[in-house]
């Protein structure tokens, strides 16, 4: 368990840029808070009474001599302070700048914590259970020491950061989480920083994740339920795409459930690999994602865009309908090879023709033939449905597939000089394949044939 202290070193959110209050004549402000505060001038060791306003992400001060001045407090460190003369106050720190404001600060602290960083995490929360971990972070359950309410905490240990890249990726994840305020996405409540780690505080989702549901819940899943779940994912990812971002790591582990017994109120989480979509002059080639859910163009190191998320949703839909990943193999490297080929056979799925048509569109190997999230939501399958309509009852038993742990191993864009060649299986004789998989079922034989064709083309 992490034992951290309050921040005594330089914040990972700070840089060496000189920061000053700026005059503002053109900005339009939406004031949420306003009040009179005693402002402490550290360089002159005296206090001055000023009117301060808050318009996220700006603090605004008004003086007779200097007029209107603003300060961008995004990722500034905020902490409570106390003075024997003027009482309780708030210290705002960013880069080289310190700003002390004394007065009634409770509402201000509550409003500013959305955009700022606090430093007293272990004074306020108690970490009690490790839930999951990845290359970049760990997720714990924690209890608020005062309210006794449980939360989910995503912890980034600073010694795991890869120089400046790790801190930059963390700042981008926080930026996206603040930008997206929708029921389809996990909500960032607070951010803390200590000497050893950065802590993101989220609501705790009692239903676990979709991967756990598929492994442990021996329910009967109807086609209607599977497509209702996918519709939620498409609605959520459409909002992300409209903001010009892509998720790049959609998989069952990153889909949370509010209710562990139902695929309702799905929440998209873990935006650690999310990236802003570049213009055509600067296309993305970065290899990242999770084997088994990555769009083929990513593994082929071709330029890609938001359509990679559509392919990932298609894989999740296939998994909901069958209880298994289409690229599952007992040989780890084969998962990557099959995933890079990208062909998924949907002919024998126990699903309506319209459902199969939508699934095939989501899983098109060529991204140009894949629909956008909005186009998928306008597919005839969803247009033909109404809340009161009952589909033909085609119960699909969710067997407990042997999900191999390698399917959850994330390929991180932070890993330098990552080359897909290291994941390729060397050319082998058919005899070896038979020995490695002595009991091939129909799907495995189909996969083996695909790999032979793929290897022959290398």
In angstroms and rounded to an integer, the radius of gyration of the C-alpha atoms of the chain is 26
CA angle (183 as vertex; 181, 187 as ends), nearest 5: 55
Question: For 93, which DSSP code?
Answer: E
DSSP state of 423: G
Residues 6+ positions from 50 with CB-CB distance below 8 Å: 36, 37, 39, 61, 62, 63
Q: What DSSP string describes 194-263?
A: BSSEEEEEEEPPTT-BHHHHHHH---EEEHHHHHHHHHHHHHHHHHHHHTTEE-S---GGGEEESSTTS-
H/E stretch holding 47: strand 46-55
Q: Which residues contact 411 (CB under 8 A, 6 or more apart)?
A: 287, 288, 289, 290, 291, 294, 418
Coil, strand or helix: which one is 409?
A: coil
Q: Which of 249, 333, 353, 357 is catalytic?
A: 249
**Separation of alpha carbons 192 and 75, rounded Å:** 10
Q: How many residues does the chain have?
A: 458
Burial of 255 (C-beta count, 10 Å sphere; 0-12/13-18/19+): buried
For 109, the 3-state DSSP assignment is helix
| Phi and psi angles of residue 58, each rounded to the nearest 5 degrees, phi first | -115, 140
- Does 333 qualify as catalytic in the annotation? no
Residues annotated as catalytic are 249
């Amino acid at each position: 368990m992490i034992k951290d202290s309050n921040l005594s070193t330089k914040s990972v959110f700070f840089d060496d840029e000189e920061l000053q209050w700026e005059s503002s004549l053109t900005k339009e402000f939406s004031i949420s808070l306003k009040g009179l505060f005693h402002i402490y001038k550290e360089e002159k060791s005296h206090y001055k009474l000023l009117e301060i306003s808050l318009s996220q992400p700006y603090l605004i001060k008004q003086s007779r001599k200097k007029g209107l001045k603003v300060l961008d407090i995004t990722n500034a460190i905020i902490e409570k302070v106390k003075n024997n003369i003027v009482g309780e106050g708030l210290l705002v720190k960013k880069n080289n700048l310190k700003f002390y404001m004394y007065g009634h600060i409770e509402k201000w602290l509550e409003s500013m914590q959305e955009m700022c960083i606090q430093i007293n995490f272990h004074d306020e929360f108690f970490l009690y259970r490790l839930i999951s971990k990845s290359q970049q972070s760990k997720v714990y359950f924690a209890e608020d020491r005062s309210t006794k309410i449980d939360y989910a905490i995503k912890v980034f240990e600073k010694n795991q950061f890869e120089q400046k890249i790790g801190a930059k990726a963390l700042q981008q994840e926080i930026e996206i989480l603040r930008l997206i305020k929708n029921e389809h996405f996990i909500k960032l409540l607070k951010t803390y920083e200590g000497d050893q780690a950065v802590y993101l505080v989220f609501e705790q989702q009692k239903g676990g994740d979709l991967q756990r549901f598929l492994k442990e819940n021996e329910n009967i899943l109807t086609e209607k339920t599977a497509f209702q779940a996918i519709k939620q994912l498409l609605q959520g990812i459409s909002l992300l795409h409209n903001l010009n971002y892509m998720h790049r790591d959609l998989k069952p582990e990153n889909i949370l459930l509010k209710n562990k017994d139902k695929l309702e109120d799905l929440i998209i989480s873990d935006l650690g690999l999310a990236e802003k979509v570049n213009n055509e002059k600067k296309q993305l080639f970065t290899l990242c994602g999770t084997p088994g859910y990555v769009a083929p163009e990513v593994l082929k190191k071709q330029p890609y865009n938001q359509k990679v998320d559509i392919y990932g949703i298609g894989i999740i839909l296939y998994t909901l309908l069958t209880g298994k990943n289409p690229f599952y193999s007992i040989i780890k490297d084969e998962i990557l090879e099959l995933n890079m080929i990208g062909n998924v056979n949907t002919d024998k799925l126990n699903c309506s023709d319209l459902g199969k048509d939508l699934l095939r569109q989501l899983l098109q190997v060529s991204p140009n033939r894949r629909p956008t999230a909005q186009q998928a939501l306008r597919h005839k399958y969803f247009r033909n449905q109404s809340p009161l309509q009952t589909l033909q009852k085609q119960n699909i038993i969710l067997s407990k597939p042997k999900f191999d742990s390698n399917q959850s191993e994330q390929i991180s864009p932070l890993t330098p000089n990552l080359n897909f060649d290291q994941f390729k299986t060397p050319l082998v004789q058919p005899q070896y394949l038979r020995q490695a998989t002595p009991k091939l079922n129909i799907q495995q034989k189909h996969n083996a044939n695909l790999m032979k064709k793929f290897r022959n083309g290398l």
